[in-house]
Amino acid sequence: MLSRLREQKLRAIEERYDAVSATIAALLKHPQVTVPAAAILQFLERSLAALQNRIGDVRAQAQFSVMHDREFDNALLRSRRVFDKLVVLMDHVAKTVTFPAPPELRESLRSVVKGIFGSGGELLLHSEPGINYTIVELRDAQIETILEALSPFGRVKPPDVDRFFSVGLPSAEYDQALVHCIIAHEFGHHAWDWRILSKFLELRPDVEPFSNFDNSDEQVLGLAIAGEWATEIAADLFALYVFGPAYTCAAIHYASALTALDEPTTTHPPIRLRLHVLLDLMDEAYTIGQNENGEREFAYGQHMSDFFGMWRPTVESKRLGVAGGNVPKGIATAVLDALVTRAPRLRAMARRLATTYGALYDVQQYTRDLTLVRCIGNYIPPVQYLQEGNPQLTTTAGILNASWEYFLGGLEEFGRALPSELTADRHRLSQVFNEFVLKTLELNGLAARWWATRKDS
Partner 1 sequence: MILSADRIREMVQRKPDSDDDWFTITPVLDWRTQAKSGTSSINVRLGTRFRVPRRARLEALDHLPAAPAEVSYADDVRVDVGDYFVLHPRQFVIGETIEWVRFPRNMAGFVSGRSSWGREGLIVATAVVIHPFYAGVLALELTNLGEVPVKLYPGAQVAQLFIHEVDAPAAVQMPISMFMASAFPRDPDPLKYDRHVITRFRLDLLSAQRQKRATSSSI
Q: Which bin fits 130, alpha (ψ -120 to 50), beta or left (φ > 0)?
A: left
Q: What is the DSSP string of 110-151?
A: HHHHHHHH-TTEEEEEEEESSS--EEEEHIIIIIHHHHHHHG
Residue span 276-315 as binding mask against partner 1, x where in contact by CB under 8 A, dash where not: ----------------------------------------
With respect to partner 1, which residue has the nearer C-beta, 186 or 369? 369
| Nearest distance, CB of residue 426 and partner 1, angstroms | 16
Strands 121-128, 134-137: parallel, antiparallel or unpaired by DSSP? unpaired
Judged by CB under 8 A, the stretch of 116-124, 246-254, 319-327, 430-438 that binds partner 1 is 430-438
Query: What H or E segment, with its residue span, contains residue 163?
Result: strand 163-170
Residues 135/166, Cβ–Cβ less than 8 Å: yes
Distance CA 180, CA 441 (A): 12
Positions in 404-423 near partner 1 (CB under 8 A): 416-422
Residue span 386-405 as binding mask against partner 1, x where in contact by CB under 8 A, dash where not: xxxxxx-x------------
| Nearest distance, CB of residue 127 and partner 1, angstroms | 16
Residues 316/276, Cβ–Cβ less than 8 Å: yes
DSSP symbol at 410: -
Q: How many angstroms separate the Cα of 47 from the Cα of each of 35, 154, 156, 423, 443?
A: 19, 10, 6, 53, 37
Query: Backbone phi, then psi, for 263, in 5-degree steps?
Result: -100, 110
Distance CA 189, CA 239 (A): 10
Q: Which of 1, 31, 66, 257 binds partner 1 (CB under 8 A)?
A: 31
| Nearest distance, CB of residue 100 and partner 1, angstroms | 10
| Nearest distance, CB of residue 372 and partner 1, angstroms | 11
Q: Which of 257, 454, 456, 457 binds partner 1 (CB under 8 A)?
A: 454
Residue span 88-117 as binding mask against partner 1, x where in contact by CB under 8 A, dash where not: ---------------x--------------
| Nearest distance, CB of residue 430 and partner 1, angstroms | 11
Positions in 353-382 near partner 1 (CB under 8 A): 374, 377-381
With respect to partner 1, which residue has the nearer C-beta, 103 or 130? 103
Strands 121-128, 163-170: parallel, antiparallel or unpaired by DSSP? parallel
Judged by CB under 8 A, the stretch of 225-233, 236-244, 255-263, 441-449 that binds partner 1 is 441-449
Size of the site for partner 1 (CB under 8 A): 38
Judged by CB under 8 A, the stretch of 291-299, 324-332, 346-354, 384-392 that binds partner 1 is 384-392
Judged by CB under 8 A, the stretch of 188-196, 283-291, 340-348, 443-451 that binds partner 1 is 443-451
Residues 185/254, Cβ–Cβ less than 8 Å: no
Closest CA to 123 of 3, 221, 36: 36
With respect to partner 1, which residue has the nearer C-beta, 16 or 439? 439
Note the Cα 431 to chain centre separation in Å.
Answer: 23
List b or e across 353-367, with b for residues whose CB sees 16 or more CB atoms inside 10 angstroms.
bbeebeebbebebbe
List interacting residues with partner 1 (CB under 8 A). Answer: 31, 103, 374, 377-381, 383-384, 386-391, 393, 416-422, 432-433, 435-436, 439, 442-444, 446-447, 449-451, 454
